[in-house]
Amino acid sequence: MEYPAVFLKPEVHSLAKKYVTPEVFEEHKNKKTSRGYTLLDCMQSGIQNLDSDTGLYAGDEECYTAFGNVLDNIVEDYHAPYKIADGHTPDMNPDHLNCPNPDPEGKYIRSTRIRVARNLKGYGLAPNLGKQERLDIERKVVEVLTSLTGDLAGKYYPLQGMDEATRQKLVDDHFLFKKGDRFLESAGCNKEWPEGRGIYHNDAKTFLVWINEEDQLRIISMEKGSDIGSVFRRLCKAVNEIDAKLGFQHSPGLGYITSCPTNLGTGMRASVHVKIPKAHAHPDFKAICDKYHIQPRGIHGEHSESTGEDAGVYDISNRRRLGLSEVRCVQDMYDGLMKLLEIEKS
């Protein structure tokens, strides 16, 4: 196995390139996890997508410790200033949240969504799952979800056999994932698509679970408007019930294990879709997002732009997910959002 020559190109700026130098690659290139995954396997997305920021997906939880401190370096770079030795502390108690509704009149915020990523113990991660494993995961998770009651009660809709109009409407209405993007494609997450993939949701579509996209589970709470407390309370209730019935990959230093290092820890992304054209145009917009650990996106999923009638509406979410609790993740989003709304209004 040879060091990927594309990494020598100046336009490649990924964390994989930064920390997998030719010397580091030589040291670890022949190592394999017990599921047979190599460092080169992990780097495929960053090799095939030169614009990657991270450029690496773990094929199983051993990847995080099998290649020396390569992944530790990537994790501690993205989630700075967290140090893995410090240990990750969770907090999913909604009473600890201090997020009064920021826009009760609905002048700016269209909708709120908070999601966490989870992966079952005893399986690989999305880039390195066999077809039968994916089907087993789907069966086990659906069995637990369809036992939920109250406002979490709902139905599972497999992608296999879903008519195209229904699928597209779910995607357009921001409920369902698109077929994995080019980064996930190169990482190997889209094998045997769409078998073993699907979406569970309640009638109101305020509680949803994606199965076998980038992670085995994405547990989602969302609703129109900006009642962040309500969205977080629903998510905490659902996660506590699901965590009690399924065992998830987890470690003291990395928290919940995910395929992408950026999602480790809480696996949580708390977002609002908010109309802030003036704040976005402000010369300090990027500096303010960096200061408040905010990641701006378009509103049609990662790597999308907000155009046409959605121009000026952005997906604003917390960037950090590891080394701070779930309550803090939501507070990060909230504090950054309040600053951006202050600028928008001024």
| Chain contacts with ligand DAR (rule: CB under 6 A) | 45, 52-55, 183, 214, 260, 262-263, 302
Answer yes or no: 302 catalytic: yes
Is 297 a binder of ligand ADP (CB under 6 A)? Answer: yes
Q: Which does 212 bind (CB under 5 to 8 A by kind): ligand ADP, ligand DAR, none?
A: none
CA nearest 237: which of 320, 137, 337, 150?
A: 150
Residue of 63, 236, 260, 329 marked catalytic: 260
Q: Taking Cα atoms as reference points, which of 164, 203, 188 lies closest to residue 178? A: 164
Is 260 catalytic? The answer is yes
Which partner in ligand DAR, ligand ADP, none is near 128 (CB below 5 to 8 A by kind)? none
Rounded to whole angstroms, what are the CA distances from 55 to 40, 68, 298, 332? 11, 18, 21, 25
Nearest Cα residue to 335 out of 322, 323, 319, 346: 319
Residue 227 contacts ligand ADP per CB under 6 A: no
Question: Which helix (H) or strand (E) segment is 240 a member of?
Answer: helix 228-245
Length of the chain: 346
Q: Helix (H, G, I), strand (E, B), or coil: what is residue 338? A: helix
What is the C-alpha separation between 262 and 79, in angstroms, rounded?
8
Instruction: Give the nearer residue to ligand ADP in terms of CB position, either 20 or 114.
Output: 114
Check binding of 115 to ligand ADP (CB under 6 A): yes
**275 binding ligand ADP? (CB under 6 A):** no
342 is an active site residue: no
Contact yes or no for 274/314 (Cβ under 8 A): yes
Per CB under 6 A, the list member of 29, 140, 278, 300 interacting with ligand ADP is 300
Structure tokens at 73: 């370096």
Catalytic residue among 269, 319, 320, 328: 269
Residue 197 annotated in active site:
no
Distances from the Cα of 106 to the Cα of 102, 175, 273, angstroms: 9, 21, 11
| Tokens 């076998």 belong to residue | 212
Contact by Cβ (8 Å): 190, 180: yes
Interacting residue with ligand ADP among 17, 134, 237, 269 (CB under 6 A): 269
Would residue 118 show up in a list of annotated catalytic residues for this protein?
A: no
Catalytic residue among 113, 134, 197, 218: 218
Indicate if 166 belongs to the active site: no
- Is 262 an annotated catalytic residue? yes
The verdict on 202 binding ligand ADP (CB under 6 A) reads no
Cβ of residue 17: shortest distance to ligand DAR, in angstroms? 11
CA distance 327 to 191: 35
Q: Is 174 in the site for ligand ADP (CB under 6 A)?
A: yes
Active site residue 134: no
User: How far apart are alpha carbons 202 and 187 in whole angstroms?
Assistant: 31
CA–CA separation, 78 and 322 (whole Å): 9
Task: Tell me: does residue 128 bind ligand ADP (CB under 6 A).
Answer: no
Q: What angle is formed at CA 155 by the lines to CA 214 and CA 168, rounded to 5 degrees? A: 55
Q: Closest distance between ligand ADP and the C-beta of residue 36, in Å?
A: 28
Asked if 219 touches ligand ADP (CB under 6 A), the answer is: no
Active-site choice (113, 118, 134, 297): 297
Picked from ligand DAR, ligand ADP, none, the partner binding residue 53 (CB below 5 to 8 A depending on kind) is ligand DAR
- Is residue 302 close enough to count as binding ligand ADP by CB under 6 A? yes
Binding site residues, ligand ADP, CB under 6 A: 111-113, 115, 174, 222, 269, 271-273, 297, 299-302, 315
Active site residues: 115, 214, 218, 260, 262, 269, 297, 302
